[in-house]
A and B are shown apart, each in its own frame.
Chain A
Amino acid sequence: MRIRGRVISKGYAEGEVIVSRRKFSFLGDVDVESGVVVAEDSDISGERIANKIFIFPHGRGSTVGTYVLLRMKKKGTAPKAIINIETEPIIAVGAIIAEIPLMDKLEINPLEVFESGDFAVVNAYEGYVEKRD
């Protein structure tokens, strides 16, 4: 099933999905060295987002967070791709400078389609996301 959406940062990725239903900040919510979520109030606390397709509703927090995605990319702990319900500037600019594909405003709410452990393709050149079995 192909779900179309808006491309914010171009790129292509395929891999395992991890889903959080809470707002997320790359500054403070995740350990840059390991890519493990450290925020205790997160629904994916203790799980790794490194090299996964990370789906969450929306970003939050300070613009200082922009460089964190870049740092994670250099250390190999960044997500492969990000999908938001509706993105905001910190995540958007962070994804562009770190060259991580980012899409939002999918025609179907991604939180209703995907669960952690699913396999997905993100084609953020052509603007669609695909769920694979």
Chain B
Amino acid sequence: MFLTKEEEKLLERGDGVSKCMEILVALGEIFDAERLIPIKHAHISGVSYQNIGDEGLEWLRSLNVKFTVKTTINPAGMDLDRWKEMGIDEDFARKQMKLLNIFKEMGAELTLTCTPYYIYRPSIGEHLAWAESSAVIYANSVLGARTNRESGISALASAVIGKTPYYGLHIKENRAPSILVKVECDCDPSILGYKIGSEIEGIPIFKFNRKLSDDDLKALGAGLASTGNVAIFHVIDQTPEWNDFEIPSEKIVVDKLELNFDCDPDIITLGCPHLSKEELIKVYNLLKNFSGKVRREFWIFTSRKVYEDLIEVVDYLEMKGVRVFRDTCMVVSPATRRFECVMTNSGKALTYLPKLRGVKVLYGTLEDCVRKAFE
């Protein structure tokens, strides 16, 4: 890989900056990148103390670096104000705060959300270094921005250097679809993504018989990325780049989806990825059809930004007995593991909850979830 004189110098300083440069150069070599390109925004994952542990925390501290571009971070393991209510112990909370302080000192904005695009909306063609697979696939597919599926550490290295190796989805021709998926059922996009992510190779382009909302596209991508190694998809007549390439000849048709989840939920959760304003309002409108308070634990996860923008909606939800948490989600927080059966509308949560938290899962649409809460 070609490096400029300045980049060479960064490699030879022998400090944390050199370490970050070493990481980017190694990745560039592995993927045959010809050079590094500047990025506008880095988004870092692996922010829950649960994922990183004491060794990771110490390593981050020892790096002693500052971010040079706009840097946002993924959800942590708890709501920073209401962690006790989530059943988080003091030791975890203390270490989580320590870790967040390290990120803050490096210059990150403590956004603590997997939906950074609700805070800074990237534009078409903009180069990013994002970790968090659901945000990566949204940025590429729905917004037409360009990012590879980074790990927490490679995104951090890019945040420090302000650059990323130029390969993969940064290059236009690598964004072309390779398989057409004709969807002939009225399937929930979240479950569609969850089911076919593992069945397809390459980049899908979907044909639906209806127009999908931004929230549908978000759910489709999150499901796809959780079960497959997919970082971009296209939707005919909808996504910004669908018409830039030829429609592939390889085709699959989806006319039904079979699911076999079965358990009685002791908690219902929404917000993986974090709820948008529209989704939060949808929950509010559905809740108004039911009298009294919810009869099961009902946890909703969103970003501080959406929470603060819709504080009256949040107040109503809380009055109905729903807990609206920020800064975290059911997948990255250890809080979910004390339940037995978690109901959710998220394909991504269906993938990760059994693996990471050892709980059973039940799927329902957003409407089903609200209804179940009153049973």
Q: Which residues of A contact B27 (CB under 8 A)?
A: 89, 92-93
Residue of A nearest to B27 (CB): A89
B55 at the interface (CB under 8 A from A): yes
A96 touches B19 (CB 8 A): yes
A34 at the interface (CB under 8 A from B): no
A64 at the interface (CB under 8 A from B): yes
Which one, B29, B53, B131, B153, contacts A71 given CB within 8 A?
A: B53
B170 vs chain A, min Cβ distance (A): 15
* Known A67-B52, A67-B55: A89·B19 in contact at CB below 8 Å: no
B30 touches A67 (CB 8 A): no
Q: Once bound together, how far apart are the Cα atoms of A9 and B27, in whole Å?
A: 11
Q: Once bound together, how far apart are the Cα atoms of A66 and B59, in whole Å?
A: 12
* Known A93-B154, A96-B22, A97-B59: A64·B30 in contact at CB below 8 Å: no
Residue of A nearest to B356 (CB): A64
Q: Which residues of B contact A74 (CB under 8 A)?
A: 55
Q: Once bound together, how far apart are the Cα atoms of A87 and B30, in whole Å?
A: 7
A129 at the interface (CB under 8 A from B): no
A24 vs chain B, min Cβ distance (A): 16
Q: Which residues of A contact B46 (CB under 8 A)?
A: 64, 67
A37 at the interface (CB under 8 A from B): no
Residue of B nearest to A92 (CB): B26
Q: Which residues of A contact B56 (CB under 8 A)?
A: 67, 70
A55 at the interface (CB under 8 A from B): no
B151 at the interface (CB under 8 A from A): yes
Within 8 A of B (CB), among A60-115: 63-64, 66-67, 70-71, 74, 87-90, 92-93, 96-97
A30 at the interface (CB under 8 A from B): no
A49 at the interface (CB under 8 A from B): no
B73 vs chain A, min Cβ distance (A): 16
Q: Once bound together, how far apart are the Cα atoms of A89 and B153, in whole Å?
A: 10
A70 vs chain B, min Cβ distance (A): 5
A8 at the interface (CB under 8 A from B): yes
Q: Once bound together, how far apart are the Cα atoms of A63 and B131, in whole Å?
A: 10
Q: Mark A35-77, 1 if CB is under 8 A from B, else 0.
A: 0000000000000000000000000000110110011001000
Q: Mark B29-70, 1 if CB is under 8 A from A, else 0.
A: 110000000000000001000011101100100000000000
* 18 A-B pairs (CB sep. < 8 Å): A9-B26, A63-B131, A63-B152, A64-B46, A64-B51, A66-B151, A67-B46, A67-B52, A67-B55, A67-B56, A67-B59, A74-B55, A87-B30, A88-B30, A92-B27, A93-B23, A93-B26, A93-B27
Interface residues of B (CB under 8 A from A): 19, 22-23, 26-27, 29-30, 46, 51-53, 55-56, 59, 131, 151-154
Apart from A8-B30, A10-B22, what 4 extra A-B contacts exist at CB < 8 Å? A89-B27, A93-B154, A96-B19, A97-B59
Interface residues of A (CB under 8 A from B): 6, 8-10, 63-64, 66-67, 70-71, 74, 87-90, 92-93, 96-97
